A = this chain, B = another copy of it.
Amino acid sequence: MEFQTKIGRSTADTIQVHGYDLAEDLIGKITLADMAFLGAKHRIPTEQESKMLNAILVAICEHGFTPSSISTRLTYLGAPEAVQAAVAAGLLGAGTVYLGAMEYVAEMLQKAFAQFGDDKNIEELATVVIKDRKEKGLQFPGFGHHIHKVVDPRTGKLFEIAEETGFLGKHSLLLLEIHRQFCEEKGKKITLNAVGAIGAIMSDMEIDYRVVKSFAVASRAVGLVAHLVEEIDKGRKDSIAQQLFEYVEDNTDYRG
């Protein structure tokens, strides 16, 4: 047997997924988000884990008009026969600029404990991390937001649920302390954004930083449904994509 997998397999009358019987154990018993958890951890989440993960994925699912959702709409305009391509086009923009921070925060925090040891207290460890990143010329992911200049409304809510579900652990505390020292040094309040909070909370849920971003991408796919629905409802002529395209056509200054 060539290809070993833990994911699943179908026989004539059963479907096995990560050791569970899809029809008997999963359908009707767990949520869609839990399927992502199952994929990452090979077990069904606890009630607390499910609540936390759904909260996280709901938080980053929808952002209104973004480069990403606009691409989905433009793609649907040209290829209405292939809804999957429109969703894919939207996901392709979910790269380092907008979603990268989630992974970078998780990486920063997970590596901090791995490299600089668990023996330091959080305050010392935060100082070490800040010093280390500065020396290496690295930016601080998870801080700042181009619209939510002071407070990202999702951040507090996410940490609140993390506390309630038992996931306000050492990674979250480290991020909060790094943020505190970072703002103190700058002498001003810089937003701790939702993507930062999520990177920390997912670390406290023991999700490897290298797979954090794929959760975010999956959540975005769910969010893009709404944009396709709106384009379909408006109809081709009145679609946002058509209006936008016409606007660009009418406002182009060609200097060939």
Contacts and interface: CB of A to CB of B under 8 A. Distances in A.
Interface of A: 1-24, 26-28, 30-36, 38-40, 42, 51, 54-55, 57-59, 61-68, 70-71, 74-75, 77-89, 91-99, 147-151, 153-154, 156-158, 160-161, 208, 210-211, 213-215, 217-230, 232, 240-241, 243-245, 247-249, 251-256
The 9 closest A-B pairs by CB, nearest first: A79-B95, A39-B226, A221-B221, A78-B93, A1-B253, A19-B256, A88-B88, A67-B74, A82-B82
Contacts of A157: 23-24, 27-28
B10 A64 contact: yes
Total identical chains: 4
Given A3-B248, A251-B2, A55 B78 contact: no
B55 A27 contact: yes
A7 to B, nearest CB: 5
Contacts of A256: 6-9, 16-20, 42
A79 B97 CA distance: 6
Contacts of A255: 4-6
Contacts of A80: 95-97
